[in-house]
Amino acid sequence: MIERIVEAARLRAVRKLPWLSSPIFNLPVTFKAMRHLAGVTKDGVITFSTVNPTAKWWEKVWQGGKVEDKVRVADECAHVLAHECLHFVLKHSSRRGGRDPSLWNVACDIKVFELLRELLPAPEGAVKGEHFGLSRYFVEEATVEEIYERLLQLGERVKEFENEGSGVTGVEADWEGGIEERGVGELEGERIVNEVIDAMEKTRGALPFGLEREIGSLRRRGKIEKWRRLFSSVYSLARGRVLFGGEWKYPPRWVSWAIGMTEAGKIITSPTTFDMPEGVTLLPKLSQVTQPKVAVVIDTSGSMCGRDIRECLGEALTILQVSSELILISCDADVHDVKRVVKERDIPLTLHGGGGTDMRVGIEEALRHDPDIIVLFTDGYTPFPEKPPRKGIKPIPLIVVITPDGTTEDVPQWVSYLIRLGGE
């Protein structure tokens, strides 16, 4: 019976929320005996409960209720379906970071409920900001992250954590075990999200204010993720050059050395185990790992606002999650801060600057540290070197990351990679 209700809910949801039709029809739906009314996995499988009291009430009304009551049930189910779709589209699982999963789940539910409040009726028991003393005005204006921080400030704790699924918290819920339904892949998921963004763009002016704001934030997050994928790719290529571009005495297949001990206790090494003499006891391999050196130059000139500089520092932390260390350089028309960063706490809260702009001196400072990759965060209002940076005879990849309101007009053609950090 719940299956028929969900099918009717799909049609109701598409009719009232046409901009959400792509995930409504493309994300697979399954059914399971679980405590929570519904949930979503990280790969987009939406699961409805067959035993939850609300689901049982829906079935009872569907079997013997009036037409208007059935319509109400279909709308409530459509609200829940759209709710789970928005968790997936807004990428709540990847945005949690190290936050408490239970409180994050509540913050996400509060935000999604507010986005759908005026569009579809919610079932009884829906999580609302009012339950935690949060005004509608605040919830409409705030991001999920800001709602979470406010809940922390209020000292709110969720006593009984009912995980709505890895599609919200990134933590696999108990009910996810045994689900045979296959979710959507990463590329398919991105296509679905982009289709929602495009559809929302076309209906601007007809959507509630909160959803209007989500359009910009979705595009912004997409561009930030695009830059992060670019850096990871460039880093992998640079790592390949360091390992196999002449740094090794032996060919690449001999990177991991075999180590052995003779009966007399003498330690010997060999490129492969096949070259070891007879009677030698093999010991665990010693792997020699060399990481590319990354230099990060941040424009701290007067044209860079504090928000942009803070965001650049945040992205430096993202780089540190890929690289084991980096050299952080702040620069306006002169170099101010030069700091070796190994751990998160090494990243300064503020950077010096505020004067004119000349990123050439920042790049020159980066070259003094013999980097394999240079990342330049700037608004683009700066002169650039006439030639690409080099390490010996090899060019060094330069990734120029332009801030949301910056310009790309003066960026030379020789720049290896040019990308905008975010914004419209």
Q: For the segment 91-118, what is each residue's pLDDT rounded down to a tens digit?
A: 898 888 788 888 999 999 999 999 998 8
Chain center to CA of 46: 21
Report yes or no: 243 and 255 within 8 Å, Cβ to Cβ: yes
Summarised one tens digit per residue, pLDDT across range 69-92 is 899 999 999 999 999 999 999 889
Encoded tokens for 230:
């670019």
The DSSP 8-state label assigned to residue 275 in this structure reads G
Query: Cβ atoms within 10 A of the Cβ of 292, count?
Result: 22
Q: Please tell me whether the overall predicted TM-score, pTM, comes out greater than 0.85 for this model.
A: no
* 51-59 long-range Cβ contacts below 8 angstroms, 24+ apart: 54/123, 54/124, 54/125, 55/2, 58/2, 58/5, 59/1, 59/2, 59/5
Domain 231-241+292-420 sits in CATH at: 3.40.50.410
Q: Is pLDDT above 70 for 225?
A: no
Mean pLDDT of all residues in 316-323: 83
Among 274, 113, 278, 87, which Cα is nearest to 166's?
87
Mean pLDDT of all residues in 317-336: 89
**SS3 category, 250:** coil
Predicted confidence at residue 296, as pLDDT, reads: 95
**Domain coordinates in residue numbering, the chain:** 2-207, 231-241+292-420, 249-287
Predicted confidence at residue 200, as pLDDT, reads: 80
